[in-house]
C-alpha cells in the first residue's frame, strides 16, 4: 500500500461523509494559514504523508517544507512545515496528518537511537515484519529515515526459513536445495536457535543465518564458526540496552521488531497562524 492509498483509507476512517464541525462553521471561501510543529526532539519523517493528506482534501492547499525527511531536530518546538489554503481542508485534515506524522517520526527517532548505539561496530540495524497492518510501507520508510535498513517488505521478496518451517520439515536437510530450485534468484536465510543448527545451516550452504535469541557468547561463537561463509543476523529480545553488546560480537546485522512495534509517537501539533 502506497502513501496515497494509506491516506485515502485514513481520511475515510476519520472524515467519513464530511467534517460536520468545520463545514458548518466555515464557508468554502475562508482561507487559513498554519504551521506543523515538532514539539519534542527527534527525527523528522512523514512529511510526504502530511502533504498527501491535504492534497487529497483540497488540491489548492499550498504545502511548504521547513525540514527535510531524516533530519534530526533538537531545538524544539520547531516548525517543520507551513500550510495555506481553505480553512475547511486544513481543519479537516489536521488529525489524520498529525497521527501519521507523529507515528513515523517516532519510528525514525527510535531507529536513529539504535543506529547510534552500534556506531563503529560495523553492524547494520534492520527492521522486521512486526509493523502496523496497513502502514508497513510508511513505517519501513521511517526506519530508513532513521538510518536503519529494511530487511524484507513481505513474504514475497526474501526467503527466511523460520523455526516453524523447520519443525514441519523435520530439520534443515534438503530445505536449501528445494528453495534454490524454486527461487534461484533469492539468497537463502535459515533461522538457527542453537550452534548445532548454525553448523547444519553452514553445511547446507545457506547464505545467511538468523541467530535467534542467542546470548552474546553464542553469537560470538557463531561468528567464529561462520568465518565469513555466511552473513549473520542477530534477532530476538534486542533492546537499546543490549544492542551494543550484541553488535560487538561481530554479527553483520541486528534485526529489532521494537523499531516498529514499540516506537512511541512523537508529540507534534498544527497551529493556525494569525
Beta bridge partners of residue 212, listed in sequence order: 235
- 226, containing H or E segment: helix 216-226
Please tell me whether residues 167 and 241 are part of one structural domain.
Answer: yes
| β-pairing verdict for 72-73 and 208-212 | unpaired
Count of alpha carbons within 13 Å of 171, Cβ hemisphere only? 9
Beta bridge partners of residue 161, listed in sequence order: 190
Contacts of 98 (CB under 8 A, 6+ apart): 36, 268, 269, 270
Please tell me whether residues 22 and 104 are part of one structural domain.
Answer: yes
pLDDT of residue 109: 98
- Let me know: does 120 contact 57? Beta carbons within 8 Å: no
How far apart are the C-alpha atoms of 1 and 18, rounded to whole Å? Answer: 24
How far apart are the C-alpha atoms of 114 and 258, rounded to whole Å? Answer: 10
In the predicted structure, residue 6 carries a pLDDT above the cut 70: yes
Q: What percent of the chain has pLDDT over 90?
A: 97
Please tell me whether residues 234 and 99 are part of one structural domain.
Answer: no
Average pLDDT of the residues in 218-231? 98
Residue 77: cis peptide before it, omega within 30 degrees of 0: yes
Please tell me whether residues 105 and 131 are part of one structural domain.
Answer: no
Please tell me whether residues 201 and 110 are part of one structural domain.
Answer: no
| Residues identified as active-site | 95, 130, 162, 191, 212
Q: How confident is the model at residue 171 (pLDDT cuts 50, 70, 90)?
A: confident
Q: Name the DSSP letter for residue 193.
A: S
In the predicted structure, residue 81 carries a pLDDT above the cut 90: yes
Average pLDDT of the residues in 168-176? 88
Task: Tell me which residue range forms the domain holding 205.
Answer: 115-261
Strand positions, DSSP E, 4-153 = 31-38, 42-43, 62-65, 72-73, 78-86, 124-126
Please tell me whether residues 166 and 223 are part of one structural domain.
Answer: yes
Please tell me whether residues 159 and 200 are part of one structural domain.
Answer: yes
Q: What is the CATH number of the domain that holds 36?
A: 3.90.1170.20
Closest-CA residue to 251 (of 204, 192, 203, 200): 192
Measured distance between the N- and C-terminal CA atoms of the chain, rounded to whole angstroms: 37
Q: What is the CATH number of the domain that holds 130?
A: 3.20.20.70
Sign of CA pseudo-dihedral 40, 46, 47, 51: negative
What's the structural domain count of the chain? 2
Q: How confident is the model at residue 174 (pLDDT cuts 50, 70, 90)?
A: confident
In the predicted structure, residue 1 carries a pLDDT above the cut 70: no
Please tell me whether residues 108 and 148 are part of one structural domain.
Answer: no
In the predicted structure, residue 173 carries a pLDDT above the cut 90: no
Please tell me whether residues 182 and 58 are part of one structural domain.
Answer: no
Q: Is 36 exposed, middle or buried (0-12, 13-18, 19+ CB in 10 A)?
A: buried
Q: What percent of the chain has pLDDT over 70?
A: 100
| 108-157 per-position pLDDT tens digit | 999 999 999 999 999 999 999 999 999 999 999 999 999 999 999 999 99
Please tell me whether residues 89 and 124 are part of one structural domain.
Answer: no
In the predicted structure, residue 65 carries a pLDDT above the cut 80: yes
Measured in degrees and rounded to the nearest 5, phi and psi for residue 241 equal -75, -25
Q: How confident is the model at residue 271 (pLDDT cuts 50, 70, 90)?
A: very high
Helix (H, G, I), strand (E, B) or coil at 183: coil
Average pLDDT of the residues in 184-201? 97
Q: How confident is the model at residue 267 (pLDDT cuts 50, 70, 90)?
A: very high
* Cβ neighbours around 120 below 10 Å, total: 8
In the predicted structure, residue 158 carries a pLDDT above the cut 80: yes
pLDDT of residue 93: 98
Please tell me whether residues 62 and 189 are part of one structural domain.
Answer: no
- 271, containing H or E segment: strand 268-273
pLDDT of residue 53: 98
pTM here is 0.95
Please tell me whether residues 200 and 254 are part of one structural domain.
Answer: yes
Q: How confident is the model at residue 170 (pLDDT cuts 50, 70, 90)?
A: confident
Q: Is 224 exposed, middle or buried (0-12, 13-18, 19+ CB in 10 A)?
A: exposed
pLDDT of residue 88: 98
Amino acid at each position: 500500500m502506497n502513501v496515497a492509498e494509506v491516506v485515502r483509507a485514513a481520511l475515510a476512517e476519520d472524515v467519513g461523509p464530511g467534517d460536520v464541525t468545520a463545514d458548518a462553521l466555515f464557508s468554502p471561501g475562508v482561507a487559513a494559514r498554519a504551521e506543523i510543529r515538532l514539539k519534542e526532539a527527534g527525527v523528522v519523517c512523514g512529511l510526504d504523508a502530511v502533504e498527501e493528506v491535504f492534497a487529497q482534501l483540497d488540491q489548492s492547499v499550498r504545502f511548504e517544507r521547513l525540514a527535510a525527511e531524516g533530519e534530526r531536530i533538537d531545538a524544539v518546538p520547531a516548525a517543520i512545515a507551513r500550510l495555506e489554503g481553505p480553512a475547511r481542508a486544513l481543519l479537516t485534515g489536521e488529525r489524520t496528518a498529525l497521527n501519521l506524522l507523529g507515528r513515523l517520526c517516532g519510528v525514525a527517532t527510535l531507529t536513529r537511537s539504535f543506529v547510534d548505539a552500534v556506531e563503529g561496530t560495523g553492524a547494520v540495524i534492520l527492521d522486521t515484519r512486526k509493523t502496523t497492518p496497513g502502514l508497513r510501507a510508511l513505517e519501513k520508510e521511517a526506519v530508513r529515515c532513521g538510518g536503519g535498513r529494511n530487511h524484507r517488505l513481505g513474504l514475497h521478496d526474501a526467503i527466511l526459513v523460520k523455526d516453524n518451517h523447520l519443525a514441519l520439515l523435520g530439520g534443515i536437510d534438503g530445505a536449501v536445495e528445494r528453495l534454490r530450485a524454486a527461487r534461484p534468484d533469492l539468497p537463502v536465510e535459515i533461522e538457527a536457535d542453537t550452534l548445532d543448527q548454525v553448523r547444519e545451516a553452514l553445511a547446507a550452504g545457506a547464505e545467511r543465518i538468523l541467530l535467534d535469541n542467542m546470548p552474546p557468547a553464542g553469537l560470538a561463537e557463531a561468528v567464529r564458526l561462520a568465518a565469513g561463509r555466511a552473513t549473520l543476523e542477530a534477532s530476538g529480545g534486542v533492546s537499546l540496552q543490549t544492542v551494543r553488546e550484541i553488535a560487538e560480537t561481530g554479527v553483520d546485522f541486528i534485526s529489532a521488531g521494537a523499531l516498529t512495534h514499540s516506537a512511541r509517537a512523537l508529540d507534534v501539533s498544527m497551529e493556525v497562524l494569525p
